[in-house]
Amino acid sequence: MTAESIYQKTYFITTFGCQMNAHDSEKLAGILNGMGYRPAEDEHAADLVVYNTCCIRENAENRVLGNLGYLKHIKKKHPNKLVAVGGCMPQQDGAAKRLAATGAVDILFGTFNLHRFGELLERRVVTGETVSEVWEKPNGLDDGYMNAFRENPYRSGVNIMYGCDNFCSYCVVPKVRGRERSRRPEDIIAEIETLVSGGVKDITLLGQNVNSYGQKPEPTGVDFPSLLNLVARLEPAPKRLRFMTSHPKDLSPALIRTIAENDNVCKHIHLPVQSGSSRVLELMNRKYTREGYMSLITALREAIPGIAITTDIIIGFPGETEEDFADTLRLVREARFNGAFTFLYSKRSGTKAAEMPGQVPKDIANERFQRLLDAVNPIVLERGKEQENRTLHVLAEKEEDGVFTGRADNNALVHFKCGGQESPLGKIVPVKITQAKTFFLLGEGEAAQ
Ligand code: 5AD
Ligand code: SF4
């Protein structure tokens, strides 16, 4: 055996952005493992560095460009290190040029040709030339069939659909991920059956808008509530099922019933509201009003006692007035969210909102953003305090210095200690919550179930 043949090349993947990207990175890892690469400890040690990028806001792009500047510097000392950049950013007009200008990129690919990554890498290795291949659309070749390498053995995402047809006026997703297309129910079920039999306990059905599942490009004959029901009742069934993300305009009474009726469907919904002002919601092309959203919250809370509701909010959308912002603050107080991701509006070229009048000055947006946080965080903490002295069931996913971490059924992040001989890792453990902090809960675990 020569020295070369025992030397295995290593890779390190950094993911920017959402759960969809995180799952795409697992697919890239699957391809690389299949080619005989193995994971490196970190970016410095890796022969191949992969950035799976996000472009939803300008700061996500700036982080990628900043990191690439640093990698360019590292590459001077390590000329054999390869850098691949893929995901959403290369799909944006002009972004490929900006990425190339960093001088650090050896392989460029997009969201639609993820499955071609192995070939592109090989081409780069064989020719020594920069390789760039970005498709404009999926060409009927989505990547659901790829063999993802899932680092977390207990919790997995499964794509049920790709792309988005909603065209919210601020959002680049329909452009960079293409038109909405659903996977066939039988393919989704087969993938989930494999995961469950491999010991995965907690499965998240992934789509930009899962509530419109099953309609495009052709009807699958199964809508989202039916799919969720089918999956929840498989034999053996997943211990826990989640889904992400729900668009309020398509959240149906049937879905609410399905969550209520299946014990293994987690009592949590991520329901981005974006704004509390019906006027702004119309400008955003969200297709619901503040009142419509609030009646969904009421219906969810009535049908599913204890359900956790989390949301996304954008501050400083073009034309947002002080009154519109006050409406958002009011909605936050009425809805009493269990968690909220808050974003400063970021102007994205090619979107309708980028052309709208009344772009909000940065200092005003920043000041509103701070006021929003001041309103949201105490509510989230209060919601957490409601869990104190209760027992939540937590899937223990990680351990560090004797402290275990995992998610409860209601999606709360819980850190806990656990007595007993047997490690709780990979098990769903009853944990008594002792103290709530704003972004996590602390507790004491009982014996693993
Ligand atoms: N600026 C700020 N936030 C945005 N989001 C999407 N596009 C933008 C933008 N241009 C937010 C939305 C969405 C979340 C994933 O990102 O709140 O729900
Ligand atoms: Fe973007 Fe709206 Fe689609 Fe979500 S629903 S991905 S915010 S266009």
> What does 113-175 look like in DSSP terms, one character per residue?
TGGGHHHHHHHHHHH-S-EEE--SS-TT--STTS----S-SSEEEEESEE------TT--HHH
Q: What are the tokens at 36?
A: 């005989």
CATH code for the domain in which residue 108 is found = 3.40.50.2300
Long-range CB contacts (within 8 A, 24+) of 221-230: 221/185, 222/185, 223/254, 224/255, 225/252, 225/254, 225/255, 225/257, 225/258, 227/160, 227/185, 227/188, 228/255, 228/258, 228/259, 228/262, 228/265, 229/258, 229/262, 230/185, 230/189
Minimum-distance ligand 1 atom for the alpha carbon of 56: 7
Residue 166 CB less than 6 A away from ligand 2: yes
Residue 86 lies in a domain: yes
Q: Rounded mean pLDDT of 31-44?
A: 95
On whether both 275 and 245 belong to a single domain, the answer is no
On whether both 336 and 440 belong to a single domain, the answer is no
Q: Which of 209, 249, 269, 314 to mutate to test ligand 1, by most ligand atoms within 8 A of the CB atom?
A: 314
Ligand minimally distant from the alpha carbon of residue 312: 1
On whether both 14 and 69 belong to a single domain, the answer is yes
- φ and ψ at residue 433, rounded to 5 degrees: -80, 125
Q: Rounded mean pLDDT of 11-38?
A: 95
Question: Of 104, 133, 162, which residue sits at a domain end?
Answer: 133
CATH code for the domain in which residue 349 is found = 3.30.750.200
Using pLDDT thresholds of 50, 70 and 90, give the confidence band for residue 142. confident
What is the reported pLDDT for 146? 73
Minimum-distance ligand 1 atom for the alpha carbon of 348: 10
- Ligand 2 centroid to Cα of residue 163, in Å, is 9
What is d(CA 10, CA 42) in angstroms, rounded to the nearest whole number?
A: 10
Residue 139 lies in a domain: no
- Ligand 2 centroid to Cα of residue 324, in Å, is 21
pLDDT for residue 2 is more than 60: no
On whether both 112 and 165 belong to a single domain, the answer is no
Ligand minimally distant from the alpha carbon of residue 247: 2
What is d(CA 365, CA 302) in angstroms, rounded to the nearest whole number?
A: 35
Question: Of 341, 362, 386, which residue sits at a domain end?
Answer: 386
Residue closest via CA to ligand 1's atom 13 equals: 312
**Coil vs helix vs strand at 82:** strand
Using pLDDT thresholds of 50, 70 and 90, give the confidence band for residue 3. very low
The count of domains in the chain is: 4
On whether both 212 and 278 belong to a single domain, the answer is no
What is d(CA 152, CA 415) in angstroms, rounded to the nearest whole number?
A: 17
Residue closest via CA to ligand 1's atom 16 equals: 56
Residues 285, 223, 30, 119, Cα dihedral to 10°: -70
- Ligand 2 centroid to Cα of residue 430, in Å, is 36
What is the reported pLDDT for 145? 62
Contact indicator for 10, 46 with CB cutoff of 8 Å: yes
Residues with CB under 6 A from ligand 1: 56-57, 170-171, 272, 274, 312, 314, 343, 345-346, 348
pLDDT for residue 143 is more than 80: no
DSSP state of 182: E
What is the reported pLDDT for 151? 85
On whether both 355 and 404 belong to a single domain, the answer is no
CATH code for the domain in which residue 219 is found = 3.30.750.210
Half-sphere exposure of 209 (CA within 13 A, CB side): 23
Residue 168 CB less than 6 A away from ligand 2: yes
Residue closest via CA to ligand 1's atom 17 equals: 312
Q: Which of 175, 176, 209, 245 to mutate to test ligand 2, by most ligand atoms within 8 A of the CB atom?
A: 209
The strand pair at 202-206 and 155-159 is best described as: parallel
Q: Which of 21, 54, 247, 271 to mutate to test ligand 2, by most ligand atoms within 8 A of the CB atom?
A: 247
On whether both 292 and 413 belong to a single domain, the answer is no
DSSP state of 83: E
Residue closest via CA to ligand 2's atom 2 equals: 168
Q: Helix H segments across 185-321?
A: 185-197, 224-232, 253-261, 278-283, 290-303
pLDDT for residue 1 is more than 60: no
Domain containing 420 equals: 391-445
Q: Report the helix count and the strand count for the chain, using DSSP H and E.
A: 13, 19
DSSP state of 269: E
Minimum-distance ligand 1 atom for the alpha carbon of 346: 1
Q: Give Cα separations from 162 to 83, 159, 346, 430 (angstroms).
A: 26, 7, 23, 35
Residue 174 lies in a domain: yes
Contact indicator for 84, 117 with CB cutoff of 8 Å: yes
- Ligand 1 centroid to Cα of residue 275, in Å, is 11
Residue 86 CB less than 6 A away from ligand 2: no
Residue 25 lies in a domain: yes
On whether both 195 and 235 belong to a single domain, the answer is yes
Q: How far apart are the first and last CA of the chain?
A: 48
Residue 191 lies in a domain: yes
Residue 173 CB less than 6 A away from ligand 2: yes
CATH code for the domain in which residue 410 is found = 2.40.50.140
Minimum-distance ligand 2 atom for the alpha carbon of 274: 7
What is d(CA 308, CA 304) in angstroms, rounded to the nearest whole number?
A: 9
Q: Which tens digits make up the pLDDT trace of 200-242?
A: 999 999 999 999 999 999 999 999 999 999 999 999 999 999 9
pLDDT for residue 338 is more than 80: yes
- φ and ψ at residue 186, rounded to 5 degrees: -65, -35
- Ligand 1 centroid to Cα of residue 214, in Å, is 24
Question: Of 386, 409, 436, which residue sits at a domain end?
Answer: 386
Minimum-distance ligand 2 atom for the alpha carbon of 286: 2
Average per-residue pLDDT for the chain: 94
Using pLDDT thresholds of 50, 70 and 90, give the confidence band for residue 185. very high
Q: Helix H segments across 220-262?
A: 224-232, 253-261
Q: Rounded mean pLDDT of 243-263?
A: 97
pLDDT for residue 4 is more than 60: no
Q: Rounded mean pLDDT of 370-393?
A: 98
DSSP state of 183: P
Residue 291 lies in a domain: yes
Q: What are the tokens at 80?
A: 């054999």
What is the reported pLDDT for 221? 96
Residues with Cβ within 8 Å of residue 337, at least 6 apart in sequence: 309, 310, 311, 376, 379, 380, 383
What is d(CA 219, CA 184) in angstroms, rounded to the nearest whole number?
A: 9
On whether both 238 and 126 belong to a single domain, the answer is no
Residue 311: exposure state from Cβ atoms within 10 A (0-12, 13-18, ≥19): buried
Q: Maximum CA pair distance of the chain?
A: 73
On whether both 197 and 121 belong to a single domain, the answer is no
- φ and ψ at residue 134, rounded to 5 degrees: -125, 120
Residue 144 lies in a domain: no
- Ligand 1 centroid to Cα of residue 343, in Å, is 7
On whether both 382 and 408 belong to a single domain, the answer is no
pLDDT for residue 421 is more than 90: no
What is the reported pLDDT for 448? 53
Residue 147 lies in a domain: no
Q: Which tens digits make up the pLDDT trace of 257-304?
A: 999 999 999 999 999 999 999 999 999 999 999 999 999 999 999 999
CA angle (380, 386, 389) in 5-degree steps: 135
On whether both 17 and 127 belong to a single domain, the answer is yes
